[in-house]
Chain A
Amino acid sequence: MLSIEELSTKVNTRFGRLLDQSIMAYGELTILVAPQHLLEVCLALRDEPEFDFKLLIDVCGVDYLQYGLSEWETNSATTTGFERGVEVDVFKNASAKEPRFASVYHLLSLTNNQRIRIRVLLNETELKVPSVVNIWPAANWFEREAFDLFGIMYTGHPDLRRLLTDYGFVGHPFRKDFPLIGNLEARYDATLQRVVYEPVSITPRILEPKVIRRDNRYQVGE
């Protein structure tokens, strides 16, 4: 069995210019591929015996809109202490991380006992990536889910319908700018004798603010 470092060398020599970046972290190999090279790389990873990634484990979307932003800045302490409540619209500035979206693929090779992760970064203006459904049929539902939740268009997908959300749902709920409480709520109306949709009646609140600690207290395990 190859070690993950050897796999990394092999991937880098084989694909070279096709990769934007290759990252080793936590014993996992991640390669960054531009959308136009995705199919070529995937096909080679599946069919060439030294890779042989025949099993597609997962496809998912990621939205980096609020990446690295915390909801609670503790730098400016006052004499009266910290305010516990946090406004919901704290994210006035979007994250510096560009592009905003990513489509992430996890592959597994049964013969070589290896895993690899492919990340394709996507701009919000051009949220399109070629579908890998012809390479791995397993991608079908995973891509439908990522389309449903993030609005990523998988071009060439034979049946790109919504998968998890309600019939007639508007919006892409897992985007970071979609509110956690949603936009509409449903209830049964006894007089109309049908289910009606109304704007949500609850107000969002943050119970535990998101904080980012970078000081050495949190350098655990080193």
Chain B
Amino acid sequence: MEKMPEIRNYTFNFGPQHPAAHGVLRLILEVDGETIVTADPHVGLLHRATEKLAESKPYNQNIGYMDRLDYVSMMCNEHGYVLAIEKLLGIAPPVRAQYIRVMFDEITRILNHLLWLGSHGLDIGAMTMFLYAFREREDLLDCYEAVSGTRMHATYYRPGGVYRDLPAKMPQYKVSKWHDAKQVAEMNENRQGSLLDFIWSFTERFPKRVDEYESLLTENRIWKQRTVGIGVIGPEQAIAMGLTGPMLRGSGVEWDLRKKQPYEVYDQLDFAIPVGVTGDCYDRYLVRVDEMRQSNHIIRQCVQWLRNNPGPVMTDNHKVAPPTRVNMKEDMEAMIHHFKLMSEGYCLPEGEAYAAIEHPKGEFGVYLVSDGANKPYRLKIRAAGFSHLAALETLVKGHMISDVVAVLSSLDIVFGEIDR
């Protein structure tokens, strides 16, 4: 009698250098035929010890590190860190600064979801989405640049407010060997007014763009075949696994910190929380697309408010925020404040605080322990993606190899915040 063939499970590496691994994820997959038996993510390849570095720097010098955590939603990371400091100091920024923060949080949410939509599409095979998403991202990154001088790592939020007020005019394109005068005039058409005018014109056209994305994907047969019923997680399990944000809402749990534990001025704005039903990749897609529309709605409310209400954007408490340059020339006290703030920084009272915001990816929390010094004693960053990636094995078990890619990109992970 012939010997039965010996069948063994096969183990292989997915990543760390793989375009669908969203950065540097080494995923060790054990498969039985094409079916996933175990998935063991190895993370830490982008570990930069941000939290340890932060312990060696005065508070304000760490804001720049926050941008580099989740490097597709930069200002939201800053927001969590700045809120924790403000909680310990017991200060609140001026209302105008709060509106600016909310507006940029929502711009960041659209930036994040656009990149997610583009790369999710790319992973599943809808190449076009990536190009469209980047077209819109370009305008929003211009807003970042206009307000902070950099396109990505803004360092714009500061304890006590924001770095400076919104600029009254937008930077213009110039004639180059790639664009002649006529093209440049066209490109500059919506840049003639202030930053708020530019953002307003963006919010006018953006809903139509979202309609375009949806007409490409939502009822697309291939898209639905790749996402409906893939990576299903029910509400109880989602809570047990520590999922937050669109991952939790995709499973039908109506939980959004902007509504439930409102910070800044979210309680004065009108918006809805989209929720899914089944908790599969398709529902998470629908939730995120709807969130972009809601963000657009919030941005419009902020723009209207900001147009009508000029005012300070930084606290006048000069133990925390530097005085104006003009004051420094004449006022001795102002100069001392500036010198102390730029060299030593400011001290926080002893204690510990946890501040959380509704980050585009979920709950982004900062746990700050202070021993009364000018540096954090311990800074723990609770990144949403960390829990999401930890739940990957539960999500992909029993699926096909190709579904791993769909599930992984539906988690919306960025290694900057997972490895920290």
Residues of A with Cβ closer than 8 Å to B? 25-26, 28, 30, 54-58, 60, 62-63, 66-68, 70, 104, 106, 108, 110, 113, 115, 117, 136-138, 140-142, 162-166, 173-174, 180, 206-208, 210-214, 217-222
Contact = CB atoms under 8 A, between A and B. Distances in A.
A219 B89 CA distance: 8
B367 A60 contact: yes
Contacts of A63: 378
A30 B351 CA distance: 11
Interface of B: 43-44, 47, 49, 51-53, 56-58, 61, 87-91, 239-242, 244, 253, 255, 260-261, 317, 319-320, 343-347, 349-354, 356, 363, 365, 367, 369, 371-375, 377-378, 380, 382, 386-387, 389-391, 394, 419-420
B381 to A, nearest CB: 9
Most buried by A among B49, B253, B373, B386: B373
B51 A174 contact: yes
A199 B277 CA distance: 54
B319 A217 contact: yes
A213 B382 contact: no
Given A60-B380, A110-B255, A210-B373, A115 B90 contact: no
A217 B344 CA distance: 14
Contacts of A60: 367, 380
Given A25-B352, A58-B382, A210-B373, A138 B56 contact: no
A165 B47 contact: yes
29 contacts: A26-B352, A28-B354, A54-B240, A57-B382, A104-B367, A106-B365, A106-B382, A113-B260, A117-B354, A136-B240, A137-B242, A141-B386, A141-B389, A164-B419, A164-B420, A173-B49, A173-B52, A174-B52, A180-B53, A206-B56, A208-B375, A210-B374, A211-B374, A212-B371, A218-B346, A220-B89, A220-B90, A220-B317, A222-B90
A180 B319 contact: no
A45 B197 CA distance: 50
B361 to A, nearest CB: 14
A218 B349 contact: yes
Contacts of B369: 62
Contacts of B49: 173-174
A136 B417 CA distance: 22
Contacts of A62: 369, 378
8 nearest A-B residue pairs (beta carbon): A138-B242, A221-B90, A164-B44, A141-B390, A58-B382, A60-B380, A164-B47, A213-B347
A44 B87 CA distance: 29
Nearest to B393: A140
A62 to B, nearest CB: 5
Most buried by A among B346, B353, B354, B419: B354
Contacts, number: 137
B91 A221 contact: yes
Contacts of B349: 218-220
B339 to A, nearest CB: 13
A162 to B, nearest CB: 8
B351 A26 contact: yes
A212 B345 CA distance: 11
Given A55-B242, A208-B345, A222-B90, 7 more contacts: A66-B377, A104-B380, A106-B354, A164-B44, A164-B420, A165-B47, A213-B372
Nearest to B49: A173
A139 B242 CA distance: 8
Contacts of A140: 390
A78 B373 CA distance: 23
A208 B241 contact: no
Contacts of A58: 365, 367, 380, 382
A68 B244 CA distance: 35
Given A26-B351, A30-B352, A173-B49, A57 B386 contact: no
Contacts of B367: 58, 60, 104, 106
Nearest to A141: B390
Given A117-B354, A213-B347, A110 B239 contact: yes
B51 to A, nearest CB: 7
